[in-house]
Amino acid sequence: MTTPTTGATPYESYVYAYPHKTAYRPLPERPELRGLWAEQPKNALSLYLHVPFCEVRCGFCNLFTRIGAPEGLTTAYLDALERQATAVRGALGDEEPVRFAAAAFGGGTPTFLTASELERLCDIAEKAAGADLRAVPLSVEASPATATADRLAVLADRGTTRLSLGVQSFVPDEARSAVRPQKRAEVEAALSRIRDAALPVLNIDLIYGIDGQTEESWRYSLDAALAWRPEELYLYPLYVRPLTGLGRRPADASSAGWDEQRLRLYRAGRDHLLAAGYEQVSMRMFRRTGAPQEGADDYACQTDGMIGLGCGARSYTAELHYSFDYAVDMRQIRTIVDDYVSRPEEDFARAEHGRWIDAEEARRRHLLQSLLQAHGMPVSEYRERFGSGPWEDFPAELAAFAERGWLVDDAELLRLTPEGLAHSDAVGPALFSADVRATMAAYERK
């Protein structure tokens, strides 16, 4: 197998899925979903509904989302989402039971929708897609401005077990620097409403590496979050990506200096949370000891299938990962959303953009997504699935990690050391295949 080199920076790329959508391409054959899913296990699927709207776009954001929605667009979008859900559920067939084991609403900001629109979103997931939301973990993303009491009441009533709130910083100057305009009082009010809604798990997202951020201001944000005793905390390093608000600004600091700042803040944040009674699940995710687990951990779905509904969602079978077209530029996103809402139901019965997954890529994906979790991967699990061992399949990559002190010396469990976890955003990309890297590099950003 080919051996990509380990990046010089600890912050090469956040790997939340492999291969990334920039490695997807139009599928000329437009395969029918019924055929793609015919032989796939369907007893433990994940369901993801994508809502591509936000009230404001943060400066660091490169997600598939647009600012606001002209009158009638959210209704048209939900209409299209229902058509897609109906087509996909039909393609899954009735030859064997179809069961969803987990569900999530993401975006964008799902709570951009009104309370009545959120009711309809839940109805689509249940009546059209076939998920029992009250019987499975349901995770929903929200922003402080849209976490209103009426929306939270709907989510609580429909079975939401986890709400993730994007705060990023409790320091107003830092929030402005990240192009995330918000007042701390508004954030605190939203957190109070979430706690009043009695959802089982509250997650708070924070970002480190913001211009002007210090260890003192970082600890201030951490303590402000800890005051709410969230069941989970995600600590994200700031990235400046092409076509984002921050990406259009001129660079004013050396990458080496910024890497050093982010690593220093990461370690300070990690140690602070561990001392406060949290356990580390991945580089980014921390869970309060004893808190319920009501959503998928980072880098899940190594083996189970994923049904993604919405114009920014992706779906996974064992052989094909597929989605709709992808963009970051606002004009391109609007074009894709407009195309999505105009489609008839039969259009949703085929895959359009994606990437076929061969045996080598399946091994890479499983290793990558398992290794980036703090508990690691039993070697026997990998061998049972693939008939070979990870050291046999990826000797050069794993040897490079071990040489850097990133792997625990354990023949039975492949696991990152604390320093390896700190370098997860270098470990992940180092496991990309040469073909995926080349395809991503050739992607024309839009």
Closest CA to 187 of 220, 234, 142, 145: 145
Residue at a domain's end among 288, 307, 336: 288
> Which pLDDT tens digit goes with each residue over 364-415?
999 999 999 999 999 999 999 999 999 999 999 999 999 999 999 999 999 9
CATH number where 369 lies:
1.10.10.920
Verify that 385 and 275 share a domain, yes or no: no
Q: Does residue 303 fall inside a structural domain?
A: no
Residue 376 domain boundaries? 359-441
Verify that 372 and 281 share a domain, yes or no: no
Residue at a domain's end among 253, 273, 288: 288
Q: Does residue 153 fall inside a structural domain?
A: yes
d(CA 154, CA 197): 10
- What is the structure's pLDDT at 55? 72
Q: How many domains does the chain have?
A: 2
> Which pLDDT tens digit goes with each residue over 85-102?
999 999 999 888 899 999
Q: Does residue 298 fall inside a structural domain?
A: no
Q: Does residue 353 fall inside a structural domain?
A: no
CATH number where 104 lies:
3.80.30.20
Verify that 123 and 254 share a domain, yes or no: yes
Residue at a domain's end among 288, 310, 343: 288
Verify that 100 and 206 share a domain, yes or no: yes
Taking residues 110-127, report their average pLDDT: 97
Residue the block writes with tokens 């970002």:
207
Terminal alpha carbon distance of the chain? 32
Residue the block writes with tokens 């077990």:
161
Q: What is the pTM of this model?
A: 0.92
> Which pLDDT tens digit goes with each residue over 106-118?
988 999 999 999 9
Taking residues 417-437, report their average pLDDT: 96
274 versus 7: the higher-pLDDT residue is 274
Verify that 243 and 111 share a domain, yes or no: yes
What pLDDT band is residue 250 in, cutting at 50, 70 and 90?
Answer: very low
SS3 annotation, 98-109:
CCEEEEEEEECC
Verify that 156 and 32 share a domain, yes or no: yes
